[in-house]
């Protein structure tokens, strides 16, 4: 008998921002664990390409391109899933952008863009998913926070504020939805080898700082988030709610 505690067989997972980066790695990992995955992003071609790549590997995947910051687009996307008879069992709110600039140089539009993409999107997509999960008495909501959900760094204020909000939105979701059989938790990635961080990776001083500040003495690989994601998406976490799991090489645990 296979060890089914972590199996996602028969489950459908929607991962926002999953046509590339961390979201793509998480989506592939959930597919490896047996989930049928819905690949989301704003770029239709990239969504189709990523879903096809997953299908070519033998996984069950479909593209669903929509802008997670656009309320009407989010509502329409879920109505389309309803029409297609697709129930989202697992939601990973991963979509996010980074903008590095001192607070005093930020425009309100720049601030709002990061907050909308990194935080408001989790509310919009989480709300539509929960409207359907609550009556079914089942759902796994996984919000992608950050090391910055609990720590600040200069020049990334909107990202930090949004990711701090993600941590506490997760706790609020747990407070409202746990009694109905849903689990809402978060993952806090540390410094990962992603396109979003390429400028930092290529900066020798920053690279040295990350490796010195991180007990594991290295950057994280996107696929290293899969274990936490599968755990929080599976029956192994049915009594875990409102928590954040930092996957950061220990950076948040030490001074």
Interface residues with ligand GCO (CB under 6 A) are 98, 100, 146-148, 153, 156, 159, 189-192, 196-197, 200
- Closest CB to ligand GCO: residue number: 146
Residue (34 or 96) nearer to ligand GCO, CB: 96
Residue (18 or 36) nearer to ligand GCO, CB: 18
Find the shortest distance in angstroms from Cβ 231 to ligand GCO: 19
Exactly one of 159, 191, 239, 246 is catalytic; name it. 159
Instruction: Count other Cβ atoms within 10 Å, centred on residue 241.
Output: 19
User: How far is it, in rounded angstroms, from Cα 108 to Cα 67?
Assistant: 20
Angle at 105 between CA 99 and CA 108, to 5 degrees: 70
Find the shortest distance in angstroms from Cβ 209 to ligand GCO: 10
Residue (87 or 200) nearer to ligand GCO, CB: 200
CA torsion, points 68, 124, 160, 103, in degrees to nearest 10? 80
Find the shortest distance in angstroms from Cβ 74 to ligand GCO: 24
| CA-CA-CA-CA torsion sign (193, 194, 199, 200) | negative
Find the shortest distance in angstroms from Cβ 215 to ligand GCO: 15
Q: Is 246 a catalytic residue?
A: no
Residue (100 or 136) nearer to ligand GCO, CB: 100
Q: Number of helices (H) and strands (E), helices first, in the chain?
A: 9, 7
CA 117 to centroid of chain Cα atoms: 12
Pairing of strands 36-39, 12-15: parallel
Enzyme catalytic residues: 159
């Amino acid at each position: 008998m296979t060890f089914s505690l972590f199996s996602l067989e028969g489950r459908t997972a929607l991962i926002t921002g999953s046509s590339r980066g961390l979201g793509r790695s998480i989506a592939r990992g959930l597919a490896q664990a047996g989930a049928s995955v819905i690949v989301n992003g704003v770029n239709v071609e990239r969504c189709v390409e990523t879903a096809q790549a997953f299908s070519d590997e033998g996984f069950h995947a479909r593209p669903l391109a929509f802008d997670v910051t656009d309320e009407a687009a989010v509502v329409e996307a879920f109505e389309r899933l309803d029409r297609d008879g697709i129930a989202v069992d697992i939601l990973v709110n991963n979509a996010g952008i980074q903008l590095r600039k001192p607070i005093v140089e930020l425009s309100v539009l720049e601030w709002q863009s990061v907050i909308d993409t990194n935080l408001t999107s989790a509310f919009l997509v989480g709300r539509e998913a929960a409207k359907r999960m609550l009556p079914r008495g089942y759902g796994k909501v996984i919000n992608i926070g950050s090391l910055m959900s609990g720590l600040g760094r200069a020049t990334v204020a909107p990202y930090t504020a949004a990711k701090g909000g993600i941590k506490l939105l997760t706790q609020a979701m747990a407070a409202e939805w746990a009694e109905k059989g849903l689990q809402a938790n978060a993952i806090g990635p540390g410094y990962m080898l992603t396109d979003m961080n390429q400028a930092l990776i290529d900066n020798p001083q920053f690279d040295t700082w990350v490796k010195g500040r991180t007990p594991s003495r290295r950057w994280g690989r996107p696929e290293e988030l899969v274990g936490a994601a599968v755990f929080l998406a599976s029956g192994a976490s049915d009594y875990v709610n409102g928590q954040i799991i930092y996957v950061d090489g220990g950076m948040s645990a030490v001074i």
